[in-house]
Chains A and B, each alone.
Chain A
Amino acid sequence: MSSRRIFATAKRLLEQLRHDPRTVLLLLAVPLVLMILLRYLFGSQLVEFNQLAPMLIALFPFTIMFVVTSIAMLRERMTGTLERLLTSPISKLEILLGYGLGFGILAVLQVALVLLLTFGPLDMRISGSISMLLVFSVLDALMGTALGLLLSAFANSEFQAVQFLPAFIFPQMLLSGIFIPRDQMPQALRYLSDLLPLSYAIDGASRTSLTKIWTLASSIDLSVVVIAIPLALALGALTLKRQTN
């Protein structure tokens, strides 16, 4: 494992983005616009807004990073640069970690801007911890990156990759407790939602913004998300095939 190659890959990704300012603008501005929209949607119902917003703060970067990463990786595969990398000394895991780091830096920036906006001009109030909400949101974005990298191995075209959003992310979203609290779900769906990493990501963000008291449940939320990231990356390295037909 070489940190030089991981850093070089992250740097290369950020350089690619620097030459594509419109993508960067979309990445950073879209979550902000969505939060503004949400705020005015709720109008004077501040209690509801304060309850829902933390969950969406955790959800938006997760979703956006998932899509961006899977497309970026797919593009790398289709233009032949991935094959070039695989015939060079860089390892598959180093490539994926480089991606994680590069997009992770972007995710921190994205989440920081959202928090500045919501806690500033949008006047959001939570009784829990803002810093833990930041931690959860960034980790969720990283999890989106890791899952995007993993799933991009199963897409052979952009059409397929984009379909992973409704096929893979939407069901997790429905079961994550944003729409119906998880303890009010039918038993079978409750068990299903227990198996999905996004449930813990959303629970974590929601719990940490409700109260400053750290519970066993918060620890479980954090651990699941923290473990899911390297697990998805490791699986991604396994599914990334050096030899293809």
Chain B
Amino acid sequence: MRRYSPAHLFEVSRTAHLIVVPTRFVQVETVLTIDRLRVSRGGSLVLNNVTAEVASGRVAGLLGASGSGKSTLMRSIVGVQRIDSGKITVLNLPAGAKELRRKVGYVSQSPAVYLDLTVIENLNYFSSIFALHDTRVEEVLERVSLSGARKQLASSLSGGQRARLSLALALLPSPAILVLDEPTVGLDPLLREELWDHFHELASQGCTLLVSSHVMDEAERCDDLVLLRDGQVIFHSSPANLKASTEADNLDSAFLTLAKRAKNEF
């Protein structure tokens, strides 16, 4: 879906009734489109009519309280969530398509690593699944600063180290899109800062990131925001627009304003 994007310049967001202020007049490629997605789990509706877009090379933040449907949306994007209706298109393919499994990296909320394997054994296993060169494992180890812990069992790693190992496994095949479910939870501020720098570095290399968080101060570091509340998108634009439209000077109060506004509409 390559196009010059007047749509991005003046499009009025249907869900949030906000005018999107022009950012850059450049060629924009939409790599992720979510169209009227509905998902229910255990009989209750978790995602209700979610529509959103993410452009290439951006760091998009998916924000919302716990239980707002962030993880379910992310699982739907990587194709492991059964959906009721709607359409998700990733790199012009339906979500979960076989061709996407090398191109979309996913890091779930709790680190999905083999606790009874060492760091290097974890990486080597996924490296052979993706048929990668050995040097790639070293690169990624360096990248997430786990070189010193390579021979350590994953079970003996700290929470932060485990999260980084989980991220490393997703980074291995150099995916075009990274879907990260609360990657900075429980990390100290310094490490969190480092990770966000790393996310932007990846984005500058052309990778598109979708990062979920329930901490509003992380929203500042995103290029685009999708705010979820009770399974519905209540805002979809840039952090600057969020502040402008709600006349709030921080994102927390902006979120409050939006949540109240959404409530009043019912």
Interface residues of chain A, those whose CB is within 8 Å of chain B, are 4-5, 8-9, 11-12, 15-16, 19-20, 79-81, 83-90, 242-245
Check B248 for interface membership: any CB of A closer than 8 A. no
In the bound complex, how far is the Cα of B144 from the Cα of A95, in angstroms? Answer: 27
| Chain B residues positioned under 8 Å from A83 (CB to CB) | 80, 108, 112
**B128-140 vs A: 1/0 string, CB under 8 Å?**
1111000000000
Known: A89-B130, A244-B81. Is A79-B101 also a contact (CB below 8 A)?
A: no
> How far apart are A143's CB and chain B's nearest CB, in angstroms?
26
Contact indicator B41/A245 (Cβ below 8 Å): yes
B207-241 CB contacts (< 8 Å) to partner A: none
Check B4 for interface membership: any CB of A closer than 8 A. no
27 pairs, CB–CB < 8 Å, chain A vs chain B: A4-B128, A4-B131, A5-B128, A5-B129, A11-B125, A12-B121, A15-B121, A19-B118, A20-B116, A81-B112, A81-B113, A81-B114, A83-B80, A84-B169, A86-B80, A87-B106, A88-B101, A88-B129, A88-B130, A89-B101, A242-B79, A242-B80, A243-B79, A243-B80, A243-B96, A245-B42, A245-B81
| Chain B residues positioned under 8 Å from A15 (CB to CB) | 117, 121
B95-149 CB contacts (< 8 Å) to partner A: 96, 98, 101-102, 104, 106, 108, 110-118, 121, 125-126, 128-131
In the bound complex, how far is the Cα of B131 from the Cα of A11, in angstroms? Answer: 15
Contact of B80 among A9, A11, A87, A89 (CB under 8 A): A87
Check B171 for interface membership: any CB of A closer than 8 A. no
**B251-264 vs A: 1/0 string, CB under 8 Å?**
00000000000000
Contact indicator B125/A8 (Cβ below 8 Å): yes
Check B16 for interface membership: any CB of A closer than 8 A. no
Interface size band for B? 20 to 34
Contact indicator B101/A12 (Cβ below 8 Å): no
| Chain A residues positioned under 8 Å from B96 (CB to CB) | 242-243
In the bound complex, how far is the Cα of B184 from the Cα of A166, in angstroms? Answer: 44
> How far apart are A78's CB and chain B's nearest CB, in angstroms?
10
Contact indicator A19/B117 (Cβ below 8 Å): yes
> How far apart are B204's CB and chain A's nearest CB, in angstroms?
25
> How far apart are B173's CB and chain A's nearest CB, in angstroms?
8
| Chain B residues positioned under 8 Å from A244 (CB to CB) | 80-82
| Chain A residues positioned under 8 Å from B129 (CB to CB) | 5, 8, 85, 88-90
In the bound complex, how far is the Cα of B178 from the Cα of A87, in angstroms? Answer: 12
> How far apart are A174's CB and chain B's nearest CB, in angstroms?
35
| Chain B residues positioned under 8 Å from A243 (CB to CB) | 79-82, 96
Contact indicator A80/B110 (Cβ below 8 Å): yes
> How far apart are B22's CB and chain A's nearest CB, in angstroms?
36
| Chain B residues positioned under 8 Å from A9 (CB to CB) | 125
| Chain A residues positioned under 8 Å from B108 (CB to CB) | 80, 83-84
Contact indicator A84/B112 (Cβ below 8 Å): yes
| Chain A residues positioned under 8 Å from B115 (CB to CB) | 79
> How far apart are A59's CB and chain B's nearest CB, in angstroms?
28
Check B73 for interface membership: any CB of A closer than 8 A. no
Contact of B79 among A8, A12, A81, A87 (CB under 8 A): A87
Check B185 for interface membership: any CB of A closer than 8 A. no
Check B78 for interface membership: any CB of A closer than 8 A. yes
Residue ID in chain B nearest A85 by CB atoms: B129
